[in-house]
């Protein structure tokens, strides 16, 4: 292979690797349609506490809570606060599974709370209407729309309770 062709091929490979590396570092904040993100304007720690209470007040069960900054702290690393709340209700579980056993993977609802550089709570979640609507089952679509309102109320209740 002539040297000029080899040099051209090497340049193309290097250019492709640079492009791939650049695109690998670009963050897609909301890769799924129906993802909502909002800064609550409320301090992170009090909002997290209020969100836990609002979930319970609205008769949902917290079935899981992930805390990456807690895990990082155990490794001696400090990162901004974050929590993933996982919650659902038995009556919705029964309705969901009656409509579609495949949709069972979509429960529980997940709400991600992150601490901004201004120490406020930012909330991200996928609208249940988008999550359950993807199955194209009327009963799931209706349930998803109902859950949109319930999740919005939970977040509003937590915001109102946070000082």
Each residue of 36-95: pLDDT tens digit? 999 999 999 999 999 999 999 999 999 999 999 999 899 999 999 999 999 999 999 999
β 82-88/61-66 pair status: antiparallel
On whether residue 5 sits in a domain, the answer given is no
pLDDT of residue 13: 46
The Cα–Cα gap between 42 and 49 comes to: 11
Angle, CA of 82, 86 and 90, to the nearest 5°: 165
Identify the domain containing residue 143 by its residue range: 32-161
Q: Does residue 91 belong to any structural domain of this protein? A: yes
26 within some domain: no
| pLDDT over 80 (residue 9) | no
Domain membership flag for residue 56: yes
Residue with tokens 């009327």: 138
Q: DSSP string spanning 93-124?
A: HHHHHHH-SGGGGGPSEEEEEEE-TTSEEEEE
Residue in the block written with tokens 């000029």: 4
Structural domain count of the chain: 1
In a domain, 14, yes or no: no
Of 163 and 43, more confident: 43
Q: Is residue 154 part of a domain?
A: yes
Please report whether residue 101 resides in a domain.
yes
Which CATH number does the domain housing residue 114 bear? 3.30.310.70
């Amino acid at each position: 292979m002539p040297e000029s062709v080899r040099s051209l091929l090497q340049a193309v490979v290097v250019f492709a690797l640079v492009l791939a590396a650049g695109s690998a570092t670009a963050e897609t904040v909301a890769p799924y349609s129906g993802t909502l993100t909002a800064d609550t304007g409320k301090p992170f720690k009090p909002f997290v506490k209020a969100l836990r209470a609002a979930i319970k007040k609205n008769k949902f069960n917290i079935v899981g809570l992930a805390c990456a900054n807690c895990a990082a702290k155990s490794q001696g690393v400090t990162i901004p606060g974050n929590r993933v709340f996982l919650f659902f209700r038995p009556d919705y579980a029964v309705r969901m599974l009656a409509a579609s056993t495949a949709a069972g993977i979509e429960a529980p609802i997940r709400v991600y709370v992150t601490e901004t550089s201004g120490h406020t709570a930012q909330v991200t979640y996928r609208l249940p209407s988008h999550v359950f609507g993807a199955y194209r089952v009327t009963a799931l679509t209706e349930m998803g729309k109902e859950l949109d309102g319930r999740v919005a109320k939970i977040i509003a209740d937590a915001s109102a309770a946070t000082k």
